[in-house]
Amino acid sequence: MRKTGVRLKNSLFVKLLAAVGISFLLAYGVLVLISMGLLHFYEQNYLTEFSVAGYNLALLFVIVVFVAAFLLLVRKRMMYLKQITDSVHEMANGELGLTIDIQGQDELSKLAQNINYLSTELESKFEYERQLELSKNELIANVSHDLRSPLTSIIGYLDLLRKGNYTEGQLPDYLETSYGKSKRLESLINELFEYTHLSSPDVSLDVHEVELAGLLEQVIGESVPMFENEQLTIVKSIPHHEIPVRVDVEKMVRVYENLLMNALKYSLKPSDIYISLKVENEMAVLKISNRTNAPPETDLEAWFERFYTGDRARRNHRGTGLGLSISQRIMELHGGCIRAEYKEGWITFIVEHPMA
């Protein structure tokens, strides 16, 4: 009942009705005063006969009083309505993000709140669309460059083979180079499709609850032979107790494999790879550390940008530059995060999962 009373008190209809009532009472009071004055003048013989014109003039004055009182009482809300109208007109002309001051708690205030919400949402969506367009253009430019390089090499070598411009000893080298360029092209196209899919706003995850420590042990175990072949030793610190998380297993395995392959490519050889997993503040925290030849040439945040291959080590290994961007996007979809740190010759990638 109390809330209903408050709503009625703040209702614009009630306020207008009150303004009408006050204006009517004021006009009625003026009419009574005029009538009493006329009666007094008549009794004092100042008026000897009834004047229709004078009565009409008095009635007109009462109406003016009523209208003036009503406009004075609703003036503030009328000005507020004009402010809302002007703001909507500016928004319609492209001033998205414009907000209206909230005055009171009636229907006009709620209308202003809804318009502010709509304006903010439209600005956010237009900004998202603008960034999406810029991102698309950037993606096309980068993809065109990255696809052109191996494709040009493949066409060049195939043209030499087609024309027979090679010696017997050059044939294996030409074929091997063409094959390598083709595999790089395939890798880039696959990662490009995956990144585009993950960047879609309607991407969905096939989420299940899994035991993270066991999943990591399996992924690491499959990678051990590759690391040993590169003279790299994996040193694990993974707890035996269960650490439940809700993840899309296929996509999360992609994150772990990206980080392991990153350590495999860019580690100082021979050396150790340290992998640890622990729980901190309701988050499962995975750390993968590898020793590097030199400190990073740029901010570590740049490593997660699309097509980033800026560091000398990364240029030498000819990565596609999409792996870490894909990993970051997957973690965002899971409500987690991924970041990199450098300290005294060690690069550490840190992955944080929300606990189930």
Q: Tokens 């970051």 sit at which residue?
A: 328
Q: Tell if the pTM clears 0.75, that is, is over it.
A: no
Q: Give me the residues paired with residue 210 across strands.
A: 245
Strands (E), the chain: 208-211, 232-237, 244-247, 271-280, 283-291, 337-343, 346-354
Query: H helices of 164-319, where?
Result: 170-199, 212-229, 249-266, 312-317
CA distances from 247 to 55, 99, 124, 179, 335 (A): 86, 39, 29, 36, 10
b (16+ CB within 10 A) / e for 57-70 = ebeeebeebbeebb
CB neighbour class for 238 (10 Å; exposed up to 12, middle 13-18, buried from 19) = middle
Local structure of residue 356 (DSSP, 8 states): -
**How far is the first Cα of the chain from the last one, in angstroms, to the nearest whole number?**
42
Phi, psi of 318 (to 5 degrees): 55, 45
Give me the tens of pLDDT residue by residue for the chain, a chain 356 residues long.
444 444 545 566 677 777 787 878 887 777 777 777 766 666 666 555 555 556 667 677 778 878 887 778 777 777 877 888 888 877 777 777 777 777 777 777 788 888 888 888 888 888 877 876 776 676 666 667 677 878 888 898 888 888 888 888 888 888 888 888 888 888 778 877 777 778 777 788 889 999 999 999 999 999 999 999 999 999 999 998 889 999 999 999 989 998 999 899 889 989 999 999 999 888 999 999 999 877 776 667 767 765 544 444 444 444 456 778 888 889 988 999 999 998 888 999 999 999 88
Q: Is the separation of the CB atoms in 252 and 319 below 8 Å?
A: no
- Residue 318 structure tokens: 């000819």
Give the integer Cα–Cα distance in Å for 177 and 146. Answer: 17
Q: Is the separation of the CB atoms in 232 and 273 below 8 Å?
A: yes
